[in-house]
Amino acid sequence: MPVVIVHMLAGRSAGAKKLLIKEVTAAVASTLAAAPESVRVIIQEMAGEHYGIAGLPVEEYRARKAGDKNKPGKRHAGK
Protein backbone atom coordinates (compact mmCIF):
# COMPACT_ATOMS: atom_id res chain seq x y z
CA MET A 1 0.00 0.00 0.00
CA PRO A 2 1.79 3.15 -1.19
CA VAL A 3 1.45 6.12 1.16
CA VAL A 4 2.31 9.63 -0.06
CA ILE A 5 2.65 12.47 2.43
CA VAL A 6 2.44 15.98 1.00
CA HIS A 7 3.69 18.79 3.22
CA MET A 8 2.48 22.19 2.06
CA LEU A 9 1.65 25.63 3.29
CA ALA A 10 -1.93 26.13 4.37
CA GLY A 11 -4.27 28.22 2.29
CA ARG A 12 -5.18 26.20 -0.77
CA SER A 13 -8.83 25.53 -1.56
CA ALA A 14 -10.63 22.25 -0.90
CA GLY A 15 -10.95 21.87 -4.67
CA ALA A 16 -7.19 22.22 -5.16
CA LYS A 17 -6.52 19.59 -2.50
CA LYS A 18 -9.10 17.26 -4.02
CA LEU A 19 -7.38 17.58 -7.41
CA LEU A 20 -3.97 17.03 -5.80
CA ILE A 21 -5.20 13.80 -4.21
CA LYS A 22 -6.64 12.62 -7.53
CA GLU A 23 -3.50 13.43 -9.55
CA VAL A 24 -1.03 12.04 -7.00
CA THR A 25 -3.07 8.85 -6.75
CA ALA A 26 -3.09 8.45 -10.54
CA ALA A 27 0.67 9.09 -10.80
CA VAL A 28 1.56 6.63 -8.03
CA ALA A 29 -0.83 3.96 -9.32
CA SER A 30 0.59 4.27 -12.84
CA THR A 31 4.24 4.42 -11.80
CA LEU A 32 4.07 1.53 -9.33
CA ALA A 33 1.46 -0.55 -11.18
CA ALA A 34 -0.68 -0.36 -8.04
CA ALA A 35 -4.44 -0.32 -7.75
CA PRO A 36 -5.66 3.25 -7.12
CA GLU A 37 -7.66 1.86 -4.18
CA SER A 38 -4.39 0.91 -2.49
CA VAL A 39 -2.87 4.40 -2.70
CA ARG A 40 -3.13 6.69 0.34
CA VAL A 41 -2.46 10.43 0.14
CA ILE A 42 -1.99 12.42 3.33
CA ILE A 43 -1.90 16.21 3.17
CA GLN A 44 -0.19 17.93 6.07
CA GLU A 45 -0.70 21.67 6.00
CA MET A 46 1.44 24.07 7.96
CA ALA A 47 1.28 27.76 8.75
CA GLY A 48 3.80 29.98 6.99
CA GLU A 49 5.54 30.81 10.24
CA HIS A 50 6.39 27.11 10.60
CA TYR A 51 8.25 26.96 7.29
CA GLY A 52 11.51 28.51 6.15
CA ILE A 53 13.69 28.80 3.06
CA ALA A 54 17.37 29.78 3.06
CA GLY A 55 17.33 30.59 6.76
CA LEU A 56 14.30 32.89 6.60
CA PRO A 57 10.60 32.49 7.35
CA VAL A 58 8.86 31.79 4.03
CA GLU A 59 7.00 35.11 3.90
CA GLU A 60 10.21 37.08 4.50
CA TYR A 61 12.03 35.01 1.87
CA ARG A 62 9.27 35.65 -0.68
CA ALA A 63 9.25 39.37 0.10
CA ARG A 64 13.02 39.59 -0.42
CA LYS A 65 12.81 37.65 -3.69
CA ALA A 66 10.05 39.96 -4.91
CA GLY A 67 12.16 42.96 -3.94
CA ASP A 68 15.17 41.56 -5.80
CA LYS A 69 13.12 41.29 -8.99
CA ASN A 70 12.31 45.01 -8.80
CA LYS A 71 15.91 46.15 -8.26
CA PRO A 72 18.02 47.24 -11.22
CA GLY A 73 21.13 45.21 -11.59
CA LYS A 74 23.13 42.93 -13.82
CA ARG A 75 21.12 41.15 -16.42
CA HIS A 76 21.85 37.56 -17.30
CA ALA A 77 23.19 36.78 -20.73
CA GLY A 78 20.44 36.20 -23.24
CA LYS A 79 17.87 38.37 -21.47
Active centre residues (catalytic): 2
46 close to 7: Cβ distance less than 8 angstroms: yes
* Contact status, residue 43 vs residue 35, Cβ threshold 8 Å: no
Q: Where do the DSSP E strands lie in 11-70?
A: 40-46, 52-53, 56-57
